[in-house]
Structure 1
């Protein structure tokens, strides 16, 4: 089976720091290569893969301001589509735009819907509903107007994560800094529990950061360490006593939630979107509805068995399990096998 994986090019694949879609595209690619598949990754030229790499843009447009994003996107997607007949299946991780090629080529396209950035993009998915193959990353993130082949949870390479049975005492906020992710709410929780909070993430909303986050940063109890790379990420996730995930939107998945639990770190999350699918309440963390409940959960965090967090992620969110899920989807499309 010859498989083409189409990754976004906002960031390198895998990303040097932030870039969840690129990270998942990398995990899929490497997982398929480990299974002996013939895989070509379409990504930036500086990307890293054990498979074949095809690129027209050497660098990511979010990392190089001289690149016009729309031009790069056009060249990148067309690079794959113009050689679509060389592949048995195309796996699109680049949202809705590649769907506009789907009826112009014979190769079937599997599209992982990583989330809906706006209701305005749904008409594109609906237009190609009858001829496309959609995969959701959680059951909660399904749109009732779309048809899905399967839900395949995002998977991580468990071997890349460090387990810690003796964490430090700090709380961690890890993710893009935006009101949707609840950075300010994490600060409130930490302040009211008199705990140190370490904040790590890409500043997606500068105004929000300036108004709601920056005034509280003092390098004592509220510490911002910037947008962390892999090594710092592992240290932060493994040594935290808990990850705070006080989201205000319907989170499609939440990669940092799984990564934290892989390290043995329990997660306290607002019960929205995919969180009930990712977290076992009172076993790998706590699902709460508000700040007061999050504060109460912190007082019980020592009762969570950190080994159980790692076992849960290994059983449900490994790269191997994700890869097997996608291979099942590919075979179903190509051969009608369930």
Structure 2
């Protein structure tokens, strides 16, 4: 495949750097890294401090110093204006002075402006749908209708959620590097990893581990300090420990040395990157039967529990510890590979570029 000039749009608030703020940042890091390894010229839009090595450098994240009057406007949070300004600026640049700089724009942001402004950009833009159809995104899609804009979902579940809005949607599951997530030896404890927020519900993982009588280690950023303080900290003791926000290599070692990984979303998780990471480490998974997770887990590598049921999750935890670590690893290699993910994206890039060329020739 010929080298392409690719602009990746991430979050204006979180850098693509370790330790990652969440699964989105980990995903963009892996995609940027693999595309660069394949010889593509990748340029990144993400918050200052991003450290993934890309050959195309970084797009400027514009910041706005509001006037005193604007700052006094209690109806509009300053963070929302900052985010709006950053995406408005980059999209205007892509439609203006950077209009000939890229072959493809790959949008991973959760902001509505890249989608809403896609008709102003002559470069084809692919948007990966990492969430359900939130209202602002749905509104942007309803008015954009750009022939050079396409969408993919990260799971069949997510595609079904978006079907009433977009009709049929391509599915490209997220992928991970099985080299960066090596098979570990296993151990005696259970592990939970992810953002410490209510929708990820680590407190339910703690409760299930207690019912099962298995020690638990938790890792991840405290993204909601009030939730962490009220629902996680009171549950910590000698058998349940929070080990902090780890870098990728440290997290892989922690997950690989666990007997089982617990995954406890109380919302419809579109994919479940932590499931793929655990399986790559050879660690079987016990998870709530929600969202895209059942598409990853099979009976040989994990157990699904009734959503929100601590008792059922405890049973699934015990059952999962008896599963083969080599089978878990094999599942990750066949179903969660970043190679397959980038192959799919590469095909879509070429198709979209070709379609755009045809439209321009017919104009």
Give the TM-score, by structure 1 length: 0.89
When structure 1 is superposed on structure 2, of 121-130 and 83-92 the one drifting more is: 121-130
Question: 1:172: Cα distance to partner?
Answer: 1.1
Q: Which residue in the other structure is 1:190 paired with?
A: 209
Is the 8 Å Cα contact of residues 6 and 106 (structure 2) preserved in structure 1? yes
Aligned: 1:49 with 2:67: no
When structure 1 is superposed on structure 2, of 250-259 and 195-204 the one drifting more is: 195-204
Is the 8 Å Cα contact of residues 111 and 134 (structure 1) preserved in structure 2? yes
Aligned: 1:109 with 2:92: no
Aligned: 1:28 with 2:31: yes
Q: Which residue in the other structure is 1:62 paired with?
A: none
Distance (Å, rounded) in 2 between the aligned partners of 1:238 and 1:80 = 42
Question: 1:8: Cα distance to partner?
Answer: 1.7
Gaps of 5+ in 2: 64-78, 357-363
Shift of the 49–6 alpha-carbon distance from structure 1 to 2, 3 Å rule, reads: same
Question: 1:323: Cα distance to partner?
Answer: 0.5
Gaps of 5+ in 1: 60-64
Is the 8 Å Cα contact of residues 260 and 286 (structure 2) preserved in structure 1? yes
Shift of the 45–295 alpha-carbon distance from structure 1 to 2, 3 Å rule, reads: closer
Is the 8 Å Cα contact of residues 261 and 310 (structure 1) preserved in structure 2? yes
When structure 1 is superposed on structure 2, of 220-229 and 31-40 the one drifting more is: 31-40
Distance (Å, rounded) in 2 between the aligned partners of 1:228 and 1:161 = 14
Q: Mapping of 1:262-277 within 5 angstroms?
A: 262-277=280-295
Is the 8 Å Cα contact of residues 126 and 146 (structure 1) preserved in structure 2? no
Q: Which residue in the other structure is 2:152 paired with?
A: 135
Question: 1:241: Cα distance to partner?
Answer: 0.9
When structure 1 is superposed on structure 2, of 266-275 and 97-106 the one drifting more is: 97-106
When structure 1 is superposed on structure 2, of 113-122 and 83-92 the one drifting more is: 113-122
Aligned: 1:222 with 2:222: no
Aligned: 1:236 with 2:251: no
Deviation digits for residues 233-257 of structure 1 (CA, Å, limit 9, x no counterpart) = 1121111111111211100111111
Is the 8 Å Cα contact of residues 263 and 288 (structure 2) preserved in structure 1? yes
Aligned: 1:10 with 2:10: no
Question: 1:147: Cα distance to partner?
Answer: 4.0
Distance (Å, rounded) in 1 between the aligned partners of 2:141 and 2:278 = 32
Distance (Å, rounded) in 2 between the aligned partners of 1:129 and 1:103 = 7
Q: Which residue in the other structure is 1:207 paired with?
A: 226
* Match for residue 298 of structure 1 among 317, 331, 353: 317
The structure having more radius of gyration, on CA atoms, is 2
SS in 2 for 1:91: strand
Aligned length: 328
* Match for residue 98 of structure 1 among 100, 105, 114: 114
Question: 1:336: Cα distance to partner?
Answer: 5.2
Is the 8 Å Cα contact of residues 118 and 146 (structure 2) preserved in structure 1? no
Distance (Å, rounded) in 2 between the aligned partners of 1:245 and 1:139 = 19
Deviation digits for residues 169-210 of structure 1 (CA, Å, limit 9, x no counterpart) = 111111111221121111110111121111112222222222
Q: Which residue in the other structure is 1:307 paired with?
A: 326
Q: RMSD in angstroms over aligned alpha carbons?
A: 2.4
Distance (Å, rounded) in 2 between the aligned partners of 1:81 and 1:222 = 51
